[in-house]
Homo-oligomer: A and B are copies of this chain.
Amino acid sequence: MTMQRHFEQELESLKTTLIKMGSIAEEALQASLRALLEGDRKLAEHIIASDDRINTLEIEIDNAIVDLLALQQPVAIDLRLILAAQKINNDLERIGDHAVNIAESALQMRDLRCTMLLPDISAMGAIAQTMFREALDGFIHNDPKLGNTVLVADDKIDAMNRAVIQEIVGRMKSDQKTIDCGLEMIRVSRNLERVADLATNIAEEVIFIAQARVVKHHADDQNPEET
């Protein structure tokens, strides 16, 4: 009984740490876009320097997952939550990396004195942030319905990424002085598109956690001797 309560506490603590990491990654992404749009060097450098915090949390969460699974045999939704946590942990760490990449591009574009900043980059940034927020909310409230809007938005951001790249390449061809800035812009666009993919992954994991019952039924059918 004590062990069961201990397990539940540890599981709750895992979820809380993951949500904390999500908030940090969210802040990093938001800050990286602000650094890009405002050419804020200090902010960009701060994001790059702060990535260690996310990486440390990733290791902490991975270790907590090993401990949790070694502590007790979780089943159904608990097991799925833990397995999804390992994946979401990795997704969040990668979103942190993308924020760093955008911050690096912000520094580059500041040094290059780039003036070309397509409105679509801001729009893509806003959509990627909303997708990420909704995926995290879905995880926090264990509500897979929130994930559905994320899946729809992913197609939109893919199309915007292609349009942005086409537009930038056109400018690069007509004015070779825009090549350096254009390459950084393409990098930012691709990083935002990747953030949207990772938000989609998280939304899919939230659906996976909630579907525990369906999958359990399926497992029952397959391996009746194990239940």
- Interface members, chain A 124-149 (any B CB < 8 Å): none
Interface size for A (C-beta < 8 A) is 32
- Tell whether, in the assembled complex, residue A80 and residue B66 are in contact, meaning their CB atoms are under 8 Å apart: yes
CB distance from A113 to the nearest CB of B (A): 17
Chain B proximity mask over A164-182: 1 for CB below 8 Å, otherwise 0: 0000010011001001100
- Tell whether, in the assembled complex, residue B71 and residue A83 are in contact, meaning their CB atoms are under 8 Å apart: no
Chain B proximity mask over A213-227: 1 for CB below 8 Å, otherwise 0: 001000100110010
Q: Is A1 an interface residue (CB 8 A)?
A: no
CB distance from A95 to the nearest CB of B (A): 15
- Tell whether, in the assembled complex, residue B67 and residue A223 are in contact, meaning their CB atoms are under 8 Å apart: yes
CB distance from A110 to the nearest CB of B (A): 18
CB distance from A68 to the nearest CB of B (A): 10
Q: Is A55 an interface residue (CB 8 A)?
A: no
Q: Which 9 A-B pairs have the closest CB atoms?
A: A73-B73, A176-B176, A71-B226, A173-B179, A173-B176, A172-B179, A70-B75, A69-B79, A70-B79
